[in-house]
Amino acid sequence: MNIAVVGCGTVGGATALHLIENADAIRTRYSIDIRLSAVVDKDLSRARRIGLPDALLSQDVEPVLSSPEIDVVIELVGGTGFAFTLIERALSAGKHVVTANKALLAHRGRELFAAAHAAGVSLAFEASCGGGVPIVRAIYDGLAGARFDAIYGIVNGTCNYILTQMIRRSISYDDALAEAQRDGLAEADPALDVGGHDSAHKIAIMAALAFGVRVDYDSIRVGGIDSLDLIDVQMAGRLGYVPKLLAIAERTASGLSLRVGPALVPQAHPLAWVSGPFNAVSVYSYPTGHTMYYGRGAGGSATAGAIVADVVSIAVGGYPAVFAAPGIWPDQTPAAQIADATQTARRFYVRALVDDRPGVLSELADHFGTHGISIAGMHQDEMADNGDALAPVVLITHRVVEANLADAVREIAALPEVAGRCTVLAIVDEPREALIDHA
């Protein structure tokens, strides 16, 4: 099987080297010949720097698309413009395609899956959701036949690294971001990562596969960690929680709930202990229960491993067989019925900065009670006698419909005794279905 890699950046270069260096091991293990036949990029400086043979290098993709000898095209150019055209043309030419392009699949995956099915070839994308974490294969193969209840994912290493530094070293978001940028763990423009959109692309893909529906990216409510204050990280820790940027897909009675944003995870949950740039995805399904998938979510080597695994699966026929199954892929499934996030009930953390005087706490509690919100706990640090008249107060609610909480918080923020905005963070609990004994 002849392979062409299009795009020779960090991941493309690592993939090309992996294909060359492990060809013998793959042949021995699977009795298949996988040959890297071409590496295409407009800038070949990295390809030459890492020692790829000149005979493989080209700046012209046309010979790859027109050659009947090329069986698989690995798209690693990124973006949603040229990459879409490249993949569509490769599929139409009868070539299997492997991609790590999460944004493209989240926004235009339906068109590409349809093109692949029409041409009788495969579009493989393990590396798009978790880098080296094999979550795509777990969903469509390892948990085949399961009923999915929820997916909770830490799927952005930049955000998880920043939050880990804030937790461990008590440094601000800005300082942690600057450090991540110095260490090469955050882009110069980190908006896609810290704003939650990278994670949203990934949960769109995972949710479509797990729940057998077509997901409109715009139906995902997206928030980031860029407005998270250090005081909330510290307060959460004292109360037994760890802040994480979570990508969440949950089955509810009114439809599929899709959201990305900072949330508090109980310290006893395995996701709470995923630190640094690592990724993890918790999956709740019946009858299997809770499973978790952990590993490096980015980087050349980890992502290359997932890409080559897709190539091997195509070569041995495993992926094409699954890809031919109806009712799994987004071009063959109905549009998702999306639950109204504001009508979803969950627990919340609410912090307000209030005047440190008698009666304020009871006034806050009264406003919550007016909206039918039950308070599970309240925390206020003992204030030093230094003349500071403002005190942070944290309230933990029982399960409450989000819209009701939002109304109460708006009223509280408008009180003269409350300074600035109130911080509201969702608390993540085990899915309610997972707590039911189905036996």
Q: Which two tokens stand for residue 331?
A: 């071009």
Question: d(Cα 5, Cα 38) in Å, to the nearest integer?
Answer: 6
Q: Which two tokens stand for residue 263?
A: 């949330």
Half-sphere exposure for 23 (CA within 13 Å, toward CB): 13
- Judging by DSSP bridges, how do beta strands 147-154 and 241-252 pair with one another? antiparallel
Question: d(Cα 215, Cα 206) in Å, to the nearest integer?
Answer: 10
Question: d(Cα 203, Cα 201) in Å, to the nearest integer?
Answer: 6
Question: d(Cα 405, Cα 296) in Å, to the nearest integer?
Answer: 36
Question: d(Cα 192, Cα 390) in Å, to the nearest integer?
Answer: 35
420: Cβ contacts below 8 Å, ≥ 6 apart: 353
Q: Which two tokens stand for residue 306?
A: 């997932």
Determine contact, residues 257/402, Cβ cutoff 8 Å: no
Three-class DSSP category at 216: coil
182: Cβ contacts below 8 Å, ≥ 6 apart: none
Residues in the chain: 439
Our answer to whether residue 202 is catalytic in this structure is yes
Active-site choice (42, 95, 102, 202): 202
Sign of torsion over alpha carbons 170, 203, 224, 302: positive
- Judging by DSSP bridges, how do beta strands 255-266 and 418-427 pair with one another? parallel
Q: Mind telling me the catalytic residues?
A: 202
